Structure 1
Amino acid sequence: MNEKHKHLGSRGSCFYILGFFGAAYYFISTSVGFWMGVGGFFKAIVWPVFFVYESFKYLGL
């Protein structure tokens, strides 16, 4: 593996971690009970799925 492609994964990881914290904060802060907060935590883990789905729907793909 050459030096140019060695660190490409770290940018995506940073974006995912920041997105995870933001989504977890949003989903947990808007929950009305404990189990809704637990569900919000799991939603925060898979937030890229929602993002890509809504993006494709918006773009008409």
Structure 2
Amino acid sequence: MGESRRSVQVVERNGAWGVFFLLAYIGAAIYFISHSDGSFWAVVLGLLQAMVWPVYVIYHVLALLGA
């Protein structure tokens, strides 16, 4: 039987944002780990906090605005 082959072209146009978010994650990880006591679970918690650092930013901005 005749198979029809389809080719799919994927165009990724936001690669620069990936580099930005990687650098932001690394910077946040360094910040949160440097403020921990250095124990294993504190470092793990720092890495987890680095993943959600924008939540901390929004929280503190809203707190400053009195919301």
Q: Same fold (TM over 0.5)?
A: yes
Unaligned stretches of 5+ in structure 2? 1-11
What's the offset of the Cα at 1:21?
A: 1.2
Residue from 23, 28, 36 that aligns with 1:18: 23
Q: Could you list the per-position Cα deviations for residues 19-57 of structure 1 after superposition, in whole angstroms to 9, with x for gaps in the alignment?
A: 211110011122221110000000000000010011011
The residue identity in structure 1 corresponding to 2:44 is V
Calculate percent identity across the aligned residue pairs.
40
CA distance in 1 between partners of 2:58 and 2:14 (Å) = 19
User: When the two structures are superposed, what TM-score results if normalisation uses the length of structure 2?
Assistant: 0.62
Secondary structure at the aligned position of 1:31 is classed as coil
Give the distance between the partners of 2:62 and 2:18, measured in 1 at CA.
22
Hey, what does 1:31 align to over in structure 2? 36
Question: Is the helix fraction higher in 1 or 2?
Answer: 1
CA RMSD of aligned residues (A): 2.4
TM-score computed with the length of structure 1 as normaliser: 0.67
Greater RCO, 1 or 2 (C-alpha within 8 Å, sep 6+): 1
Counterpart-to-counterpart distance in 2, 1:24 and 1:43: 8
